[in-house]
């Protein structure tokens, strides 16, 4: 199969291979010196660069970049890979994921995160790497004791994690602040409305024009108040009689209708809050 370079790819070409395809058609071909279906994955020792420098090392890729990279040992007689880079290190996260083709395991996928500084005080970054290696790589590595080369080739996919969740949290936090301010404003308004004395005298209500004109002709009425009630409790229910409260549509206030035969009875005002129009 003749390999195509990135300049020979058709318009609209996108490189989105599956994990299985990366192992079977790219990493296996690279390890056996066979041409890949498309020559768009460069050979770069990624541990000699920081991750933000790697996008400039390839001609293909927008949000993620692919590289063939060797792996070296951390210690001459060990099998642990050296993960140190220029200004930090790659740290494995989670467990290795086996890659299968049918019922056969053909490779392994490992996830790593880049940290700035030196362990164990490194600072975590948003750079992520998926490292693909062949299933037989561990056996081959054990036969190379004494050499610093652990694997001739692994395939690395590198990208920078986006903060979609954080942007959503900021929008949600902003909405919560707005709702809190609105609730506080409504609460203050309710406090102002409810900050009324529980008892008013009829004289005060008449002076403040809360009851409106007592009669339609503008005449006044002398109210008789029980001696024990200096003020009038707005929450006392009206006594049965011929007196009734009526709502005047034109003035928006309550008026008291008086019966000529009942002038000597005490008069009680019902619900100061109703009189003020707060329950409308």
Q: What's the rounded Cα separation, in Å, for the pair 71 and 51?
A: 16
Higher pLDDT, 213 or 26: 26
19-73 pLDDT per residue, tens: 999 999 999 999 999 999 988 999 999 999 999 999 999 988 889 999 999 999 9
For the segment 86-92, the average pLDDT, to the nearest whole number, is 96
Write down the pLDDT at residue 136.
Answer: 80
Residue 84: pLDDT above 60? yes
Kind of pairing between the strands at 38-39 and 254-257: unpaired
Indicate the fold that domain 4-162 takes in CATH: 2.170.150
Are the CB atoms for 107 and 27 separated by under 8 Å?
yes
Percent of the chain surpassing pLDDT 70: 52
Name the H helices within the chain: 19-21, 28-31, 137-142, 164-194, 202-207, 272-275
| Per-domain boundaries in the chain | 4-162, 197-280
State both tokens at 255: 């008026």
β-strand partners of 257? 244
Q: What's the rounded Cα separation, in Å, for the pair 168 and 165?
A: 5
Q: What is the pTM of this model?
A: 0.57
Q: Could you list the beta-strand ranges (E) of 6-75.
A: 38-39, 64-72
Percent of the chain surpassing pLDDT 90: 40
């Amino acid at each position: 199969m003749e390999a195509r370079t990135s300049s020979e790819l058709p318009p609209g070409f996108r490189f989105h291979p599956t994990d299985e395809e990366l192992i079977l058609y790219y990493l296996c071909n690279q390890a056996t010196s066979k041409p890949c279906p498309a020559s768009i994955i460069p050979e770069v020792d990624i541990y000699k660069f920081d991750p933000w420098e790697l996008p400039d090392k390839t001609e293909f890729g927008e949000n993620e970049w692919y590289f063939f990279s060797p792996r070296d040992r951390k210690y001459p007689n060990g099998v642990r890979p050296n993960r140190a880079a220029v200004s930090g290190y790659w740290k494995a996260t989670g467990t290795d994921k086996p890659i299968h083709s049918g019922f056969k395991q053909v490779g392994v996928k490992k996830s790593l995160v880049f940290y700035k500084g030196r362990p164990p005080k490194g600072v975590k970054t948003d750079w992520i790497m998926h490292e693909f290696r062949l299933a037989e790589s561990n056996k081959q590595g054990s036969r190379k004791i004494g050499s610093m080369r652990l694997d001739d080739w692994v395939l690395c996919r590198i990208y920078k994690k986006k903060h979609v969740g954080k942007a959503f949290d900021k929008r949600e936090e902003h909405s919560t602040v707005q709702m809190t301010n609105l609730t506080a404003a409504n609460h203050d308004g309710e406090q102002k409305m409810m900050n009324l004395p529980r008892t008013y005298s009829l004289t005060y209500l008449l002076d403040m024009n809360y009851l409106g004109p007592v009669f339609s002709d503008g005449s006044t009425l002398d109210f008789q108040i029980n001696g024990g009630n200096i003020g009038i409790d707005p929450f006392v229910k009206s006594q049965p009689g011929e007196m009734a409260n009526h709502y005047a549509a034109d003035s928006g206030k309550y008026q008291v209708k008086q019966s000529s035969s009942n002038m000597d009875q005490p008069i009680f005002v019902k619900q100061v809050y109703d009189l003020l129009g707060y329950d409308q």
